[in-house]
Amino acid sequence: MNTDQPRKIFNEIQAHYDLIPSPKSRHADLDNLKEKFEQLQGLKDDLGHDQAYRILINGMSQVIAKLERFDDLSGKPKGTIWSNLSERGMNKVIPPIMKRKGQSLPLEWMDRWGNTCSINHGHWAAKNYSVMDALGYMFVMKMGGDSLPKGATPIFNDLFEIQQREIQLKKGVGNILPTGNRHSIRFTDDDFRDFTGFRMSSTQIMNLLLETSRVEFKLTFPVRLKSTGSKENTHRMNYYSRFFEMADEELNKKSNGVVLTRRYTICFNTLLGELFVNNLLAKFNDRIDIRFYLLPDSAQIFYRRALLHNNFGKIEFNLATIADYAGLNDSNPWNLATTVETNILEPLIEYGYIDSYEKIGDVPKSRKYIIRRSGPGIIGKSGDVVGSVKDVVGSVKDVVGSVKRNRC
């Protein structure tokens, strides 16, 4: 190969790559890109010292890695993507509660109905929401006999039944992990990986499940009931409750004691757990693409809390509202705006969950964002802005006091 040939090949590959529309991970052909990448790697001896070469190698490798990860999460038949069912009440009312320096539990916040809510014995982040998606989908598949149930069959008839159940559980009735409980599931580490796409060891999975099971909430929780059909009702919880109780069995262990495989039993025998499965059976849920879990955590949380459970094609948000939904607390509005655009809005566009966004205002503190999206079920694609979203989480503050924790 003469001295000009490597540069000519590089320029052709660079031109091909530049012509791929952004975001490239949505528009590139994986096989074609891998072929070009192999050609590019063959030029390393001649161009490896060149900065432009290193930049192109890095950019192409990242796009290929994303496309291959998408393929890993693709379901069967080819071309379809695995989806979980995400329970709507959880996404609407549980804000992200991150670990922060100097923070003490329980923590309180005000919900949109003006009620004080609180969390104890843990924190809540993107992976905890994802755990509940996977557990919920496994539950509805079990209840449907390895398929999704056809009709809506909520557990509770009315709010009075929920109130009575809360009293029973507070007294200890049904607050034991029973064998053969109807509202329970069993699964292995491999099942969990299949439903989440998480590349985690057995110990990591167990720790994540245990962490999620220990968090306690006292909330106003939205529910659908037999007596009111698709109408959304709310139950204001009087006591702390967790989503589920769990037990695990070691199925395969190495000679040094490291557990390779576990089987888990999850029982939704708490008040919050029964409200959760009630809504799943009432079809008070939304489909969520498993590729969603590849998004940055703040993008996942914002989408869950602000967009997943509505079908408006055009919505306006203040910068502060987006930050509240996502659990961001940067006091510098310039940094906050950069974080929102880089870690939330741009990834949502790249992964195809929104079409675009428009910035209104030059000063970040008073900036607004108009988000546009389209697709099946989305309304108002070309209409006026729906309106500013004011249903925000509220600020979370430290409070003094302790609560008695429910136990298995």
Identify the band that residue 87 occupies on the pLDDT scale cut at 50, 70 and 90: very high
Using CB atoms within 10 Å of the CB of residue 25, give its burial: 0 to 12 exposed, 13 to 18 middle, 19+ buried. Answer: buried
Q: What is the pLDDT of residues 172-200, one digit of tens each?
A: 755 444 444 679 999 999 999 989 988 89
Identify the band that residue 128 occupies on the pLDDT scale cut at 50, 70 and 90: very high
At residue 2, the pLDDT reads 64
Query: What is the value of pTM for the model shown?
Result: 0.81
Identify the band that residue 101 occupies on the pLDDT scale cut at 50, 70 and 90: confident
Among 265-274, 289-298, 394-403, whose mean pLDDT is lowest? 394-403
pLDDT (average), residues 239-268: 95
Q: What is the pLDDT of residues 209-232, one digit of tens each?
A: 999 999 999 999 999 999 999 999
At residue 81, the pLDDT reads 61
At residue 392, the pLDDT reads 45
HSE on the CB side for 205, CA within 13 Å? Answer: 28
- Cα separation, 206 vs 183, whole angstroms: 20
Identify the band that residue 115 occupies on the pLDDT scale cut at 50, 70 and 90: very high
Q: What is the pLDDT of residues 373-390, one digit of tens each?
A: 998 888 865 444 444 444
HSE on the CB side for 76, CA within 13 Å? Answer: 1
pLDDT (average), residues 77-85: 64
Among 41-50, 58-67, 384-393, whose mean pLDDT is lowest? 384-393
At residue 73, the pLDDT reads 63
At residue 346, the pLDDT reads 93
At residue 182, the pLDDT reads 75
At residue 167, the pLDDT reads 94
pLDDT (average), residues 2-28: 86
Among 141-155, 200-214, 322-336, 369-383, whose mean pLDDT is lowest? 369-383
Percent share of the chain, pLDDT over 90? 66
User: Which of 16-25, 47-56, 174-183 has the highest average model confidence (pLDDT)?
Assistant: 47-56
At residue 173, the pLDDT reads 59
At residue 239, the pLDDT reads 95
User: Is residue 63's pLDDT more than 80?
Assistant: yes
pLDDT (average), residues 318-342: 94
Identify the band that residue 116 occupies on the pLDDT scale cut at 50, 70 and 90: very high
- Cα separation, 243 vs 278, whole angstroms: 12
